[in-house]
A and B are shown apart, each in its own frame.
Chain A
């Protein structure tokens, strides 16, 4: 089987280069944080992952709107894959955040911290997307309900973000804030390269998943066509073609 996707290859190569460069900058270029020390290096992976996860949910909402407007199933698939990637990135954000919290605060999780809890709420909200989607057997209804969910939950993401920003308790450090002296140029550059690398990784994995889904769909169509051809053969005088199930 040849899956020729030059644009996907180009994206994958760019991801490897940018992400590799970002990690090199993290460990060989960016200085240690004056307050947190070496532990702050976790943020170069944790923050971009969290940003990409949340942006993925917003992208899913945009595709869901397009799906409801046009009825084109392609947008439903894109919305699904964006949520899928967002949940994977969200898992990584929660795990890396917990590791940082353990190092900085001595606890894996702090329930009093609005940033953490709000991110967990968003993550758990999207975790319910799968059972909701697959509880509906009818394909069209499933896609429509999933789109409504993606739009509603997607609107919740920026609202949630703003609510947390407005909250007074800021135990969670704003390590990349530009106020009070701001972030040194070397740290900002490293962060931006890491963010670009993580965004490229998100796009690459999304394209990979979409390509795999498209191939899966084509295989199913091919099987249906061949099975129909085999069934037609049974009505003739020729021995019927045995349905091939072994490869499933």
Chain B
């Protein structure tokens, strides 16, 4: 198989490495979105836990009063 001249071969080599980096980038971006969603959900759960804790404290106070 005859070797391609460097100026012609270069674009294919660059293409292959760019494809690899691009796929890696897409994967990292997808994972970043997933982690961001998890972070939002955790914040949501933290808020829910705080509300529940506040409600139970209020209930205890009410029980003491009655």
Contact = CB atoms under 8 A, between A and B. Distances in A.
Contacts of B29: none
A236 interface: yes
A244 B12 contact: no
A92 interface: yes
A1 B1 contact: no
Interface in A211-248: 212, 215-216, 219, 222-223, 226, 229-230, 233, 236-239, 241, 243-244, 246-248
Contacts, number: 120
Given A45-B20, A99-B12, A233-B56, A223 B6 contact: no
Interface size class on chain B is 35 or more
B55 A226 contact: no
Given A205-B27, A212-B31, A212-B35, A36 B42 contact: no
Contact of A248 (B10, B41, B48, B52): B41
B55 A239 contact: yes
Contacts of A63: none
Given A1-B39, A45-B20, A36 B1 contact: yes
Nearest to A215: B38
Interface string B1-45: 101111011101101110110011001000100110111111111
A1 B15 CA distance: 38
Contacts of B59: 236-238
Given A38-B13, A39-B12, A103-B4, A230 B20 contact: no
Per DSSP, chain B at the interface is helix
Given A45-B20, A247-B44, A88 B55 contact: no
Contact of B4 (A1, A37, A99, A241): A37
Nearest to A43: B16
Contacts of A37: 3-6, 9
A229 B52 contact: yes
Contact of A246 (B9, B27, B44): B44
A33 B40 CA distance: 51
A164 B19 CA distance: 26
Given A238-B59, A247-B43, A36 B3 contact: yes
A244 B55 contact: no
Given A39-B9, A42-B16, A233 B52 contact: yes
Given A104-B1, A238-B58, A247-B42, 16 more contacts: A32-B3, A35-B1, A37-B4, A38-B3, A39-B4, A39-B13, A95-B19, A96-B19, A219-B38, A237-B59, A238-B62, A239-B55, A241-B55, A244-B48, A247-B44, A247-B45
13 contacts: A1-B39, A36-B3, A37-B6, A38-B3, A39-B13, A42-B13, A91-B23, A212-B35, A219-B45, A226-B52, A229-B52, A238-B59, A241-B55
Report the 6 A-B pairs with minimum CB-CB distance, sorted nearest first: A37-B3, A247-B44, A103-B12, A38-B9, A247-B41, A247-B40
